[in-house]
Structure 1
């Protein structure tokens, strides 16, 4: 308990502590909704507004942020978790000065992080805290343990959905799991590939009404990204639409969206800066009773 009290004071930090990075998890219930594309273009848009941006590709088994940027990283997060490389050694540079922490693809062992791996990852990320203004976490789709974990440690959760009924249903499922099992009470909805602004608003109204009625959570409307052939063309060229077609409708909307997000107040709950993630993890394990000898820790 002495150790736990020490860690609690450490996690709270001194008054007047420096500003912490804004940590945003971008997630979805269904794959194929353009989530990674949203992350990549928002990262460029934030960077163009003078923000220091870091992307964590948190789809640890099927990562593809690097593919979208046309980058072939020599090392990935798997090398960090194995103790073979440091975070700085695997980091790669993207367009507009953004930085990317790539992950592996096709590695089944990475689908569920162990407690030790979380500790390694978060301790490494802590060292980057003072170098980052916006920390974007591109989670995998679905409700796996990794997806839930990265959402619960983020300061803000942005759920990406499309007008497809299955995408809307799965977006609700993510909110349901996070709210009922992890007490998350606020979500942000971004509707991608809409045919018009009104379509996005209608989806938001339906989803937020159901979420409020059955889950008791608040859903804020981030906005919508229009369906845009230029965006698809940019993907095929392994570029963001922001850099390849800056005058496209989707590019203009990403720029607007980045400005709007920066103007939104940050939640006062200190759950999302990188340093807190690391310290909170230590605190959680300091208070957790030790398993009997030979027993394993369940996540």
Structure 2
């Protein structure tokens, strides 16, 4: 790599529980970044239930598991889904991929590094929860993006993951994106609540990157297995995603 080559910004997109729209955010945010003339790589880091390819309607021939097991060039598994947007597919239905050993983690880090040099952003879509691969991806990345919803269970699980990463893995900054927000009042109350709790019990300051309003267009796009920034680019949710993509460097 040229000494003047700029390294990509690696963002780990994660959540304490499933069902909060984490993968949908990753795909739509990646598309918004790519439309801003950035080269974006999405790594499907959900090693057991990968589904980025489903949202982008990709035909997968090779995935991360193949690269790890064969030692092949991981660039052979890259799929260019759109101009400026590539995907490194994860494994699906392979439970042993959820808990990678130390050697596999080191090889995976080398794989991601080797394929990411030609990109401006790397978005890693992790599994939900506190599995070992989730913790490792958060440590590996430059920044994290935590997806949560106003649902109390989502907030509780997000707090548990933040506590674990802060206490046991030395991560001191957490960047929140609130999804499925029903109005500004609910959004500000949710953010204020989790900020207050983490400040009081963990002595952590959380950054709020933005909120995505509850939007019928998002539900329809999920049913149609299409990104909503493409299906309904003028929707409230799509506009919120584009605003975050335009401000991402100032937010992190």
> Which bracket does the TM-score occupy, shorter chain normalised?
over 0.9
Alignment of 1:130-209 (within 5 A): 130-209=117-196
How far 1:84 sits from its partner (Å)? 5.6
What is the RMSD of the two structures over their aligned residues, measured on CA atoms? Answer: 1.7
2:250 counterpart residue number: 263
Rounded Cα–Cα distance in structure 2 between residues aligned with 1:120 and 1:156 = 21
Q: Deviations over 1:38-65 (max 9, x none)?
A: 0000000000111100001111011111
The CA distance in 1 between the partners of 2:161 and 2:142, in whole Å, is: 16
8 A Cα contact 2:176 2:208, kept in partner: yes
**Divergent runs of 4+, >6 A:** none
Select the residue among 198, 203, 206 that pairs with 1:219.
206
Other-structure match for 1:114: 101
- Decide which structure has the larger Cα Rg and report it: 1
Give the conservation status (yes or no) of the 8 Å contact 1:194–1:200: yes
Q: Which structure 1 residue ranges, 5 or more long, are not aligned?
A: 1-13, 267-299
Partner-residue secondary structure (3-state), 1:127: helix
In the alignment, does 2:22 pair up with 1:35?
A: yes
Local SS of the residue matching 1:132: coil
1:273 aligns to what? none
Compared with structure 1, are the counterparts of its residues 161 and 34 closer, same or farther at alpha carbon in structure 2 (3 Å cutoff)? same
Give the distance between the partners of 2:79 and 2:169, measured in 1 at CA: 33
Q: TM-score if structure 2 supplies the norm length? A: 0.95
Does residue 253 of structure 1 match 2:217? Answer: no
Give CA-to-partner distance per residue, 1:203-235, whole Å, 9 cap, x none.
Answer: 111101110111111200111001111111112
Quote the Cα distance in structure 2 between the aligned partners of 1:122 and 1:173: 26
Is 2:103 the counterpart of 1:103? no
What TM-score do the two structures reach when normalised by structure 1?
A: 0.81
Please state whether the residue corresponding to 1:94 is helix, strand or coil: strand
